[in-house]
Amino acid sequence: MSRTIIKRIVRRSLKGYHSPYRDPFRYLSMRQTGRKRFIAAMRTILSGTLSGDFNPRAPHSELRLLEHLAGKALDRGLWQLAYVGRHLAGMVLAQRRPSRPNEGTLFFLGISPAFRGRSYGKILHAKGLELLAHAGCLRYLGGTDIRNKPMLQTFRANGCRAAGTWACDAQTGKRLRRARNRHFQIIHACH
């Protein structure tokens, strides 16, 4: 039996964007750490996540799918792990859209269970927006499951505006109906 995920789609201009927050994190990119460390981090972060898009029991498969979706636009320098001291606090996967290089998204943003509830999500989201702006993206398009209240609050805190809703099958990732905004085109799936 399939389950439907309804996503809130948001957008934001990235022209001249810089994070407004004092950033407590030290960052390491996938280019610096390698895939194994990212898979381990994803396993930790997916534990108890409110995102309906990802399978917490299969971080290796999820990461492989995201790499596939990025295609030739994959820049492992934009996929970052965030640390407070030596402790993994979160992860942000900033990604230029393969079909629209001036537009970016965050394939994934997550906070480690021990660091949730501290407003770190908005700081990591802002870091992702800043990474996209520095990579030459002029626009951000993102989305989350409508039940993910912390991420919806993060979007608002960081100046994102609603651009529509979108439904997809949680198992297959196939779109069930178009977003209400004609400017949003999916990359491939709910991710």
- Residue 27 within a domain: yes
Measured at the alpha carbon of residue 170, what is the angle toward residues 140 and 184, in degrees to the nearest 5? 25
Per-residue pLDDT tens listing for the chain (191 residues): 567 888 899 999 999 999 999 999 999 999 999 989 998 898 888 876 655 566 556 667 878 888 888 889 999 999 999 999 999 999 999 999 988 889 999 998 999 999 999 999 999 999 999 999 999 999 999 998 888 899 999 999 999 999 998 887 766 666 675 544 443 333 333 44
Rounded CA gap, 117 and 9, in Å?
23
CATH assignment at residue 57:
3.40.630.30
Rounded CA gap, 14 and 17, in Å?
5
pTM of the entire structure? 0.85
pLDDT for 3: 73
Alpha helices in the chain (DSSP H): 30-33, 35-46, 59-70, 120-134, 149-157
- Residue 134 within a domain: yes
- Residue 116 within a domain: yes
pLDDT for 98: 84
pLDDT for 182: 40
pLDDT for 102: 94
- Residue 191 within a domain: no
Tell me whether strands 175-177 and 161-169 are parallel, antiparallel or unpaired.
Answer: antiparallel
Contacts with 181 (C-beta within 8 Å, 6 or more apart), sequence order: 9, 11, 163, 164
pLDDT for 183: 38
Three-state DSSP at 106 gives strand
In tens, the pLDDT along 46-64 reads 876 655 566 556 667 878 8
- What total of structural domains would you count in the chain? 1
- Residue 190 within a domain: no
Q: Could you list the residue range(s) of the whole structural domain that residue 156 is in?
A: 7-170
pLDDT for 58: 64
